[in-house]
């Protein structure tokens, strides 16, 4: 690990296409770094006052004109000028808006690369913004989460983090830790004089308060993960219960292969759908049964793994089957095996038997819980099923406006480590241990909190984070 100030500022001019590849009305190619205005001047001619240079233009100005490769015109474009330090990367930046289409953007990008730029790496523009102090590491990650958000709640959570709400909370915690660490370091400097710059009672109280604050953030991860990733929902049951049909019905499209042959689904299929404000991450699993074939056996094993990982389990049974009572027993056993997981029994194929409602009443008595009756094939009862699914994860909507939520596994792990270090420090204080030991634990907590916002930087972590961004971001 190293301090941010030890990392070099990257000033080499880079370029990349910032919009998705494909045919469209417009596309954006951006440059950042030293000399990008001069590079733009070599290939761009203004429609008005062609003798004036972009290098002489103020920031936040737009210029209409043409791009040339020698005497050959490439395209009519609009060029936006951003001058350091008032740009996203804090460097000089130029954004060229050209006509959309892969051939056009390829010519524009090649023109810039031929005139002194190199191709930007994935996430390099955002990485430069971080390295130059424009945003912290947590905000950089939030930009990626906002781009990939698949629900309103995930988007709002990412926007809050990009605004710096979680960063502000962590910076406040870090400042308090810094204060305590500094006082302990002073004690170590004056160890021969046996002086305390902060009473152990006061220090213990402060560390206890900081530990509780960090643990609150750790506990928020469960809610933050559900908002950003969706409610992990496993659709399980015996072969031919209609799991793939239900998946297709909830998604509103033919995503899974439907067959009357048992064992068609050998592996799980994962897709998302949104009902009201909640995103459900559906997993269609292999049928639960005893199997001899190795491939199908692996599919069943993965089904149980998905059950263990799920927030919500839809146990689908065929209400017209001769084994429907046995399936309720199996559902009850699963509920006992996974007590932390919410399980909803769904009686499918209610259209296939005349006495389905009577059977459902019997099953509800055996199961000791409410059951939803549906016909996945005819899409009957899906509205009631979705409403019940929402009800079972009730409480998520109340978190949509929460400003301080942890959504990243990286942040969660760092905060959990920080909480452990603070707990160790408090125990050492109460045991009247040596100052060096207490200071070590508090410095560890300080480093763990600093890792999240980038106050303490690990180059390998940066490569992983920004490597997940698209080129041009």
Q: What pLDDT digit, counting tens, does each position of 183-239 carry?
A: 888 877 666 565 566 788 888 899 999 999 999 999 888 888 887 788 888 888 888
What is the domain partition of the chain in residue ranges? 2-136, 143-220+405-453, 235-399
In this structure, the strands spanning 231-237 and 312-318 are parallel
More confident residue, 227 or 407: 407
The reported pLDDT for the residue numbered 263 is 45
DSSP class of residue 55 equals G
Question: Is 17 or 151 the better-scoring residue by pLDDT?
Answer: 17
Q: How many CB atoms lie within 10 A of CB 174?
A: 21
Mean pLDDT of 113-118: 96
Which of 330-351 are b and which e, b meaning 16 or more Cβ less than 10 Å from the residue's Cβ? bbbebbeebeebbbbbbbbbbb
Kindly indicate the confidence band of residue 113, based on its pLDDT and cuts at 50, 70 and 90.
very high
Domains 143-220+405-453 and 235-399 share a fold: no
Mean pLDDT, the chain, integer: 83
The mean pLDDT of 396-425, rounded to a whole number, is 81
CATH fold group of domain 2-136 = Gyrase A; domain 2 (3.30.1360)
Q: Which residues pair with 346 in a beta bridge?
A: 316, 372
pLDDT of amino acid 295: 39
CA terminus-to-terminus distance, the chain: 25
Report whether pLDDT(457) > 80: no
- For the cut 90, the answer to whether the pLDDT of residue 15 exceeds it is yes
Tokens of 415: 């905060």
Per-residue confidence band for 34, with pLDDT thresholds at 50, 70 and 90: very high
Q: Which of 46-50, 92-96, 291-295 has the highest mean pLDDT?
A: 92-96
CATH superfamily of this structure's domain 235-399: P-loop containing nucleotide triphosphate hydrolases (3.40.50.300)
Q: What per-residue string of b and e applies to 240-269 under the rule 16 or more CB within 10 Å gives b?
A: bbbbbbbbbbbeeeeebeeeeeebbbeebb
Which of 99-103, 211-215, 248-252, 256-260 comes out lowest in average pLDDT?
256-260
Domain 143-220+405-453's class?
mainly alpha
In sequence order, what are the beta bridge partners of 44? 67
Secondary structure (DSSP) of 144-198: HHHHT--SHHHHHHHHHHHHTHHHHHHHHHHHHHHHHHHHHHHHHHTGGGT--SS
pLDDT reported for residue 1: 41
Of residues 104 and 1, more confidence is placed in 104
Q: What is the pLDDT of residue 121?
A: 93
Count of beta carbons in the 10 Å neighbourhood of residue 114: 12
45-54 average pLDDT score? 91
Question: What's the count of helices (H) and strands (E) in the chain, helices before strands?
Answer: 16, 15
pLDDT of residue 290: 43
Average pLDDT on 258-285 reads 68
Q: What is the pLDDT of residues 329-354, one digit of tens each?
A: 777 787 778 777 788 888 888 887 77
What angle is formed at CA 284 by the lines to CA 387 and CA 356, rounded to 5 degrees? 55
Residue 6: CA atoms inside 13 Å, Cβ hemisphere, count? 9
Task: Catalogue the E-assigned strands of 358-466.
Answer: 371-373, 456-457
Residue 288 confidence (pLDDT): 56
More confident: 264 or 246: 246
What phi, psi does 288 have (nearest 5°)?
A: -85, 110
Alpha-carbon span 249 to 15, nearest angstrom: 44
- For the chain, give the number of residues: 473
Rounded to the nearest 10 degrees, what angle do helices 137-147 and 435-453 cross at? 40
Among 31-45, 52-66, 213-227, where is mean pLDDT lowest?
213-227
* Of the candidate ranges 134-138, 147-151, 245-249, the one whose mean pLDDT is the lowest: 147-151
Q: Tell me, what's the pLDDT at 423?
A: 95
């Amino acid at each position: 690990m190293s301090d941010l100030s030890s990392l070099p500022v990257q000033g080499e001019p880079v370029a990349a296409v910032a919009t998705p590849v494909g045919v469209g009305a417009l596309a954006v190619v951006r440059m950042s770094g030293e000399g990008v205005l001069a590079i733009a001047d070599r290939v761009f001619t203004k429609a008005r006052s062609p003798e004036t240079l972009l290098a002489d233009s103020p920031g936040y100005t737009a210029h209409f004109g043409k791009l040339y490769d020698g005497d050959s015109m490439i395209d009519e474009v609009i060029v936006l000028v951003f001058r350091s330090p008032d740009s996203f990367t804090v460097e000089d930046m130029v954004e060229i808006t050209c006509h959309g289409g892969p051939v056009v953007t390829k010519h524009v990008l090649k023109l810039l690369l031929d005139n002194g730029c190199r191709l930007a790496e994935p996430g390099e523009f955002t990485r430069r913004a971080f390295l130059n102090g424009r945003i912290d590491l947590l905000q950089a990650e939030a930009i990626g989460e906002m781009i990939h958000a698949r629900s309103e709640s995930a988007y709002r959570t990412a926007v809050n983090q990009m605004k710096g709400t979680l960063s502000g909370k962590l910076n406040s915690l870090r400042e308090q830790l810094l204060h305590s660490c500094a006082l302990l370091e002073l004690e170590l400097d004056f160890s021969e004089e046996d002086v305390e710059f902060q009473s152990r009672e006061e220090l213990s109280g402060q560390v206890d308060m900081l530990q509780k604050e960090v643990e609150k953030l750790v506990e928020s991860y469960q809610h933050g993960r559900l908002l950003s990733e969706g409610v992990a929902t496993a659709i399980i049951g015996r072969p031919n219960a209609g799991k793939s049909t239900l998946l297709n019905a909830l998604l509103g499209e033919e995503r899974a292969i439907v067959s009357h042959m048992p064992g068609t689904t050998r592996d799980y299929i994962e897709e998302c759908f949104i009902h009201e404000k909640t995103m459900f991450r559906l997993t269609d699993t292999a049928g639960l049964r005893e199997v001899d074939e190795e491939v199908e056996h692996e599919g069943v094993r993965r089904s149980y793994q998905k059950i263990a990982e799920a927030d919500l389990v839809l146990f689908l049974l065929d209400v017209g089957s001769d084994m429907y009572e046995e399936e309720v027993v199996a559902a009850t056993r699963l509920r006992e095996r996974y007590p932390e997981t919410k399980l909803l029994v769904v009686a499918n194929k209610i259209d296939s038997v005349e006495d389905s409602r009577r059977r459902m009443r019997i099953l509800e008595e055996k199961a000791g819980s409410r059951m939803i009756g549906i016909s996945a094939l005819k899409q009957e009862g899906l509205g009631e099923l979705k409403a019940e699914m929402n009800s079972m994860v009730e409480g998520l909507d109340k978190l949509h406006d929460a400003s301080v939520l942890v959504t990243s596994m990286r942040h969660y792990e760092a905060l959990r480590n920080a909480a452990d270090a603070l707990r160790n420090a408090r125990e050492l204080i109460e045991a009247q241990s040596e100052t060096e030991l207490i200071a070590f634990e508090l410095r560890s907590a300080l480093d763990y909190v600093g890792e999240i916002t980038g106050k303490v930087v690990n180059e390998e972590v940066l490569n992983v984070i920004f490597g997940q961004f698209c080129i041009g971001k």
